[in-house]
Amino acid sequence: MELTSAGLRIGDIARIALSREMLTVTTEVGERVAFGAAIAERLSTQRPVYGRSTGVGGNRSVPVQDPDGQLARVLRSHATSLGTPRDATRVRAMVAVRIGQLAAGGSGLSRTAFDGLLELLNTDTLPPVLERGSIGTGDLSALATVGVALLDHPDGPRVRPGDALALISSNAAAIGDAALAIHRLETLTRAAVPIASLTLRAVHGNVEPFGPAVERATPFRGAHRVCAGMRQVLDDDGYADPPARIQDPFGLRAMPQGHGVLLDALDRAAGTVHAMANAPSENPVFDEHSGITHHGAFHAAYLANAVEGLLGALVQAAQLGLGRTTMLASPGLTGASAFLADGTPGASGTMLVELVAASAMAALRSLAAPASAGTVTLSRGLEDDASFASVSARGALDAEQAYRDLLAAELLTAARALTLTGRMPRWSQLAPLQAGLARLEDRDLTADLQAARHVVPELAHRLRVR
Q: How far apart are CA 332 and CA 339, in angstroms?
A: 11
Confidence of residue 396 (pLDDT cuts 50, 70, 90): very high
Query: Residues 6 or more apart from 452 whose CB is under 8 A from it?
Result: 408, 409, 411, 412, 415, 433
Amino acid in the structure at residue 136: G
The candidate with the shortest Cα–Cα distance to 462, out of 103, 77, 187, 177, is 187
Cα distance between residue 101 and residue 13, in whole Å: 12
Q: Average pLDDT in the 198-206 region?
A: 98
Predicted TM-score of the model (pTM): 0.96
Least confident of 269-273, 277-281, 404-408: 277-281
Residue 261: is its pLDDT beyond 90? yes
The residue with greater pLDDT, 387 or 365, is 365
| Predicted local distance difference test score (pLDDT) of residue 84 | 97
pLDDT tens digits for range 134-189: 988 889 999 999 999 999 999 999 999 999 999 999 999 999 999 999 999 999 99
Q: What is the mean pLDDT of residues 279-285?
A: 91
Question: 233 pLDDT exceeds 90?
Answer: yes
Domain 2-170 has CATH 3.30.365.10: no
Question: What pLDDT was estimated at residue 55?
Answer: 84
Please provide the DSSP assignment of 398-427 as one string.
HHHHHHHHHHHHHHHHHHHHHHHTT-----
Considering the chain, tell me which residue range(s) the CATH 1.20.200.10 domain(s) occupy: 183-462
pLDDT band at 442 (very low <50, low <70, confident <90, very high): very high
Where residue 389 falls among pLDDT bands split at 50, 70, 90? very high
pLDDT at residue 382 above 80?
A: no
The pLDDT score that the predictor gives to residue 207 is 98
Q: Rounded CA gap, 277 and 172, in Å?
A: 7
Which residues pair with residue 2 across a beta bridge? 24
What average pLDDT does the chain have? Answer: 95
End-to-end CA distance of the chain: 25
Helices 301-327 and 172-202 cross at an angle (nearest 10°) of 20
pLDDT value of position 379:
79
The residues of the chain that CATH labels 1.10.275.10 are 2-170
Helix (H, G, I), strand (E, B) or coil at 132: strand
Strands 285-287 and 291-293: antiparallel
**What pLDDT band is residue 296 in, cutting at 50, 70 and 90?**
confident
457 upstream amide cis, omega within 30 of 0? no
pLDDT value, residue 51: 85
What confidence score (pLDDT) does residue 384 get? 73
Name the band, by pLDDT with cuts 50, 70 and 90, for residue 355.
very high
Contacts of 185 (CB under 8 A, 6+ apart): 266, 310, 314, 396, 400, 403
Say how far residue 199 (Cα) sits from the centre of its chain: 27
Average pLDDT over residues 405-429: 97
Question: Which pLDDT does position 380 carry in this prediction?
Answer: 76
Task: For residues 375 and 455, give the distance between their C-alpha atoms in angstroms, rounded to a whole number.
Answer: 41
State the pLDDT at residue 436. 97
The vertex-322 CA angle with 228 and 214, nearest 5°, equals 25
Mean pLDDT for the stretch of residues 323-349:
96
Question: pLDDT tens-digit profile of 73-115?
Answer: 999 999 999 999 999 999 999 999 999 999 999 999 999 999 9
**What pLDDT band is residue 420 in, cutting at 50, 70 and 90?**
very high
For the cut 90, the answer to whether the pLDDT of residue 271 exceeds it is yes
User: What is the per-residue pLDDT across 34-74, written as a single tens digit (0 to 9) for each?
Assistant: 999 999 999 888 888 888 889 888 888 888 888 888 999 99
pLDDT at site 95: 99
Q: What CATH topology corresponds to 183-462?
A: Fumarase C; Chain A, domain 2 (1.20.200)
pLDDT computed for residue 298 by the predictor:
87
Q: What residues have CB less than 8 Å from 124, skipping those under 6 apart?
A: 20, 88, 92
DSSP conformation letters of 350-397: THHHHHHHHHHHHHHHHHTS-GGG----BTTTTB-----HHHHHHHHH
d(CA 291, CA 118): 28
Task: Look at residue 61 in the predicted model and tell me its pLDDT.
Answer: 80
pLDDT of residue 241 exceeding 90, the answer is: yes
Using alpha carbons, select from 235, 206, 198, 230 the residue that is nearest to residue 425: 198
